[in-house]
Amino acid sequence: MPQTHLTDVPFDSFDIDPRILQGLADAGFQYCTPIQAQTLPLALNGQDVAGQAQTGTGKTAAFLVAAMQHLLTHPLEPRRGPPQPRVVILAPTRELAVQIHKDAELIGSHTGFKFGLVYGGTGYQEQRDEVAAGVDFLIGTPGRLIDYYKQGVFDFASVQVVVLDEADRMFDLGFIKDIRFVLRRMPSPAERLGMLFSATLSYRVTELAYEHMNDPQMVEIAPEQVTADRVQQTCYMVANDEKIPLLIGLARRIEDGRIMVFVNTKREGERVWGYLEGNGIKAAMLSGDVPQKKRLKLLAQFKDGELPVMVATDVAARGLHIPGVSHVINYDLPDDAEDYVHRIGRTARAGEAGDAISFVCETYAFCLPDIEAYIGMKIPVGELNAEAFAEVDPRSRVPAPRRPRDERGEGRGDRSGHGHRRDGPPPRGRSGGPHRSRDAGAVSAPRPEPPAAKPEHAPDAPTSEQPTDKPKRRRRRRKPAAAAAPAE
């Protein structure tokens, strides 16, 4: 396939260190994409850059090459103790941080730099020890990075380059206060190289750039063209009860493809996943509350082709570079038109072709006009016939798997103190009896034996030998305190 997404500008035409060029060659990069061709000359000369380009056009490689070259040409005097971060790269999601880290290790494999990765959800102590041992590049999400900084694991005094990736997503996820916290503790903008990259440069992102960067140069690559060139978009008008049969029919007709199915809610995603699995289509479900280790495992299986279908919420709509995604299906149209652009950007990456199919159903049909106004075009409406719909047995749905206790974190009630403890006797209820477990549906301790029946000779009324009342206890009265003697 011709590499139409590339320019005729090779990387070796810039003044880049041979060690970085070797890493680019290992990654298969020879010619620049448009965003790389326009931002590298500025960043290599020490100019701050705020870049906007379509998703999947090589923004990550652009800021990694510029950051590595800046460190090699601006060495620092050695300090006591482990080396402190010289480059800080902030990403809004864990998956994007992991992707940037992998690209950094590949491109910088011959430079000798140490790359650290921090993100929430897993590996707290392991990540902390790695950063404490010293890193040159610190890549991560804002929350855990600030956590380690407040503990004194590292400092920002040696930072020479700071990068904000997917800056508009930082605002959407509420990270802007954390971003300002980090930037205000670094050297001044005049003493560091700043780079900001995003698929959209909104007013608030531009304001952030001018507030915390040193006169950034704006670079916009085809901003009027919101969606990628090589994405073929189609929409189908369907009823709500026709979406599952149509999805299964499409999945069966797509041979040797890699499909991402986007839904708006986790509940609907689990329902869609259940019908796919119940009808012989191997799939996985990716949402925000899936444990981080499992998320990375599912993404690896999807990238390797073990899972042909990935059902996901918008947690997977940005920043994930998954090569070979042939189809994106919007099972639910997104409420935000911008999310539509990011969803279909998971296909047709790096110059490849792809298909984006959207279901316009009774629930989300009102979102279509906003999407078409945002992308500046009418999405073609496809024709459907009876063969497009698969026969689906309502009983074929597989129930959503229940996560084991170790993946859900602590046991139920451990945080609130009302559940079973892992060791020791079970807690007792309010009435003093054994606590009843909701999960087991039975009491956690055996019931006491009923009291024995009264013997027949036992009198019903008290006798003289059995006093009716207990002797009353006498209360001891306190003696009044002695009055204080009058002062003479």
Q: pLDDT digits over 192-247, tens only?
A: 999 998 877 778 888 888 889 999 999 988 654 555 567 889 999 999 999 999 99
Residue 440: pLDDT over 70: no
Predicted pLDDT at 151: 95
What are the chain's domains? Answer: 11-220 (3.40.50.300), 231-396 (3.40.50.300)
Q: Which helix (H) or strand (E) holds 139?
A: strand 137-140
Residue 79: pLDDT over 80: no
Q: State the number of CA atoms in the 13 A half-sphere of 278 facing the CB.
A: 20
Q: How far apart are CA 43 and CA 22, in angstroms?
A: 20
Average pLDDT rounded to a whole number, residues 425-452: 44
Average pLDDT rounded to a whole number, residues 353-373: 92
Q: Answer for the pair 67, 163: CB distance below 8 angstroms, yes or no.
A: yes
Which residues, other chains included, contact 265 with Cβ-Cβ below 8 Å and sequence gap of 6+? 313, 332
Predicted pLDDT at 59: 87
Q: Which of 29-38, 316-325, 377-386 has the lowest mean pLDDT?
A: 316-325
Predicted TM-score (pTM) of the model is: 0.67
Predicted pLDDT at 353: 75
Q: Answer for the pair 104, 139: CB distance below 8 angstroms, yes or no.
A: yes
* pLDDT, mean over the chain: 80
DSSP 425: S
Predicted pLDDT at 461: 45
Predicted pLDDT at 421: 35
Q: pLDDT digits over 16-45, tens only?
A: 999 999 999 999 899 998 999 999 999 999
Predicted pLDDT at 473: 60
Predicted pLDDT at 205: 83
User: What is the distance of C-alpha 307 from the center of its chain?
Assistant: 20
Instruction: Tell me the CA distances in angstroms from 424 to 207, 237, 420, 427, 437, one per residue in order.
Output: 57, 59, 9, 9, 16
**Placement of tokens 């448009």 in the chain:** 34
The DSSP secondary structure of 269-281, one letter per residue, reads HHHHHHHHHHTT-
Residue 287: pLDDT over 90: no
User: What is the distance of C-alpha 428 from the center of its chain?
Assistant: 40
Predicted pLDDT at 457: 47
Q: Which of 19-23, 94-98, 148-152, 183-187 has the lowest mean pLDDT?
A: 94-98
If we measure between CA atoms, which residue out of 138, 141, 178, 134 comes closest to residue 162?
138
Average pLDDT rounded to a whole number, residues 92-113: 92
3-class SS of residue 108: coil
Q: Which of 15-24, 223-232, 342-351, 354-363 has the lowest mean pLDDT?
A: 223-232
Average pLDDT rounded to a whole number, residues 299-309: 86
Q: Which helix (H) or strand (E) holds 198?
A: strand 193-198
| Better pLDDT: 325 or 14 | 14
Specify the amino acid at residue 479. K
Q: Answer for the pair 17, 69: CB distance below 8 angstroms, yes or no.
A: yes
Tell me the residue length of the chain.
488
Q: How many CB atoms lie within 10 A of CB 75?
A: 9
Predicted pLDDT at 228: 55
Predicted pLDDT at 44: 95
Rg (CA), the chain: 32
Highest mean predicted confidence (pLDDT) among 114-118, 298-302, 337-341, 446-450: 114-118
| Better pLDDT: 414 or 153 | 153
Q: How far apart are CA 308 and CA 355, in angstroms?
A: 15
Predicted pLDDT at 392: 87
Q: How far apart are CA 154 and CA 133, in angstroms?
A: 9
Q: Answer for the pair 220, 367: CB distance below 8 angstroms, yes or no.
A: no
Residue 472: pLDDT over 80: no
Predicted pLDDT at 439: 40
| Better pLDDT: 185 or 199 | 185
Instruction: Tell me the CA distances in angstroms from 243 to 249, 306, 361, one per residue in order.
Output: 10, 25, 8
3-class SS of residue 358: strand
Which residues, other chains included, contact 371 with Cβ-Cβ below 8 Å and sequence gap of 6+? 333, 334, 337, 340, 379
